[in-house]
Structures are given as structure tokens and as C-alpha cells.
Structure 1
Amino acid sequence: MEPRLKEDRMVAALKRLAETARRRANAKHALAEIEKEHKRALLAALKSGVTTRRAAEVGELSPDTVNRWNKEQKAKQEADPK
């Protein structure tokens, strides 16, 4: 194999790798934002009177996660009452 062809392939491979890394970072950021929104929506549902079990079903979460998020929110409110 000619050295120039190998170098061209390496450059192309690195460009592709850099592009997928950029897209991955963007997707991770978008997912983090969606997770925050999902948590806020879940807590609002609980505050409105929705049961833990129903919120878990609709939110596609385990009841343990729902309880943990709710407990965290209550602790945060107690630490910083407004």
C-alpha cells in the first residue's frame, strides 16, 4: 500500500471520528435537558395528586425512581423554603 493512500484513509477516519464525537456530545446535552424536563413534569404530576404508581407508569420510570425524585425535591424545599 502506498503511504499516501494510507495517510488519506487515516485523515478521513479521524474526520469521521471527530464528527461522530461532536454529534454524541450534542445528543448527550439534549438528553440531559430532556431528563430535567421529564423530572419537572413528574414532580408536577405528583404535586397535582397523581399517585406514585400512575406517575411511574406514565413516566416510564420505576416507582423507586419516582419516590427518590420526590424525596429529593422535598429535601430541597425544606433546605431552601421560599
Structure 2
Amino acid sequence: MDISSKDIWRDPKKYCIICEKESKNSGIEIMNSFICEDCVQKMNVMDVNSKEYESIKNKVKKAIAPKILDLKDLE
């Protein structure tokens, strides 16, 4: 099996916890969970009373809450 140097040095892929798409652009990382720039922009103008806002809030909560609870267990 041949492995080229580009395979060895390739950056790990990042997937957005909101849209679940692979991101080629920038975004934000919160506790090792990535949110792509498109979703960040969408959240900045979203109505907090919308169903879409609730959906996004639940996705973020599902991704980050277990990590926070793990940190509390270490105390």
C-alpha cells in the first residue's frame, strides 16, 4: 500500500454539529464541537421564537452538555 505525504499531513475533517456538513471554511469550535461559519451567520439573524432556533439549540445542547457533565465529574 502506497501512502503519499499528502495523506499523512492531511488536516482532520470538521463536521458542523448543526448542518452536519463537512466544512471547508472557518467556523467556531466549542469544547471540541465545530459550528461552521454559515450556521454561525444564520444563528446571528435567527428569530429566537422560531422552531429552527429550538432545533439548533437542542443540537448544541446535545453535543456540548455531556462534555460539561464530564468536566463536573472530574472535580
TM over 0.5: no
Structure with bigger strand share is 2
TM-score, normalized by length of structure 1?
Answer: 0.32
TM-score, normalized by length of structure 2?
Answer: 0.34
Which structure has the larger Rg over C-alpha atoms? 1
Structure with bigger helix share is 1
